Amino acid sequence: MFGTGLNRYGWNWEPWREFRRLQRDMNKLFGTSPGYTAREYPAMNLWRGDDDVILTAEIPGVEANDLDISVHDNTMILRGSRKTDSLKEGETYHRQERDTGSFVRSVQLPFDVDVDKVQAKLAKGILHLTLPRAEIEKPKKIEVKTN
């Protein structure tokens, strides 16, 4: 190939590598690459058992008193805010990648929840919610009688 022949003269030009670099740079510029799209915040994991739903959310830098968690019907809504770091006089940011400000995230739950029994715990930047299934939603076993 043409590019490999140039290596004899000390040139290390690979057209396909350059094309991929150009494509990556264009994707960065126009925000069309999956690697550069905005993600919903906070990132969550949700799994269900027979009697409850467990939800974890990554919220580093958010204090417990800056959170508002509510459940209405079978939708959980998480609201909160992450405050801006306070800089000392004369300091300026060299690089700032962590977002600050308010966020809202809602998740449709697979069943109605007993709101009075919901448990929330925040430790090491991870919010852990246990959302128990409402009694009325739990399957009932029907006993079959014989004569």
Query: Is residue 12 predicted with pLDDT exceeding 50?
Result: yes
| Burial (0-12, 13-18, 19+ Cβ within 10 Å), 142 | exposed
Task: Please compute the mean of the pLDDT values over residues 27-39 and round it to a whole number.
Answer: 59
**Residues 6+ away with beta carbon under 8 Å from 118:** 69, 71, 129, 130, 131, 132
β-strand partners of 47: 54
d(C-alpha 100, C-alpha 58), whole Å: 14
Q: At which residue do the structure tokens 């040139």 appear?
A: 11
Q: What is the pLDDT of residues 52-96, one digit of tens each?
A: 999 999 999 899 999 999 998 889 999 999 888 788 898 887 787
Q: Name the helix (H) or strand (E) containing 46.
A: strand 44-48
pTM, entire model: 0.65
Mean of per-residue pLDDT scores for the chain = 83
| Bridging pattern class, strands 52-58 and 75-82 | unpaired
Q: Which fold has domain 39-85+99-135?
A: Immunoglobulin-like (2.60.40)
Of the pLDDT bands very low, low, confident and very high (cuts 50, 70, 90), residue 37 is: very low
Q: At which residue do the structure tokens 């959170």 appear?
A: 67
Of the pLDDT bands very low, low, confident and very high (cuts 50, 70, 90), residue 5 is: low
What's the confidence (pLDDT) of residue 85?
79
Domain residue spans of the chain: 2-35, 39-85+99-135
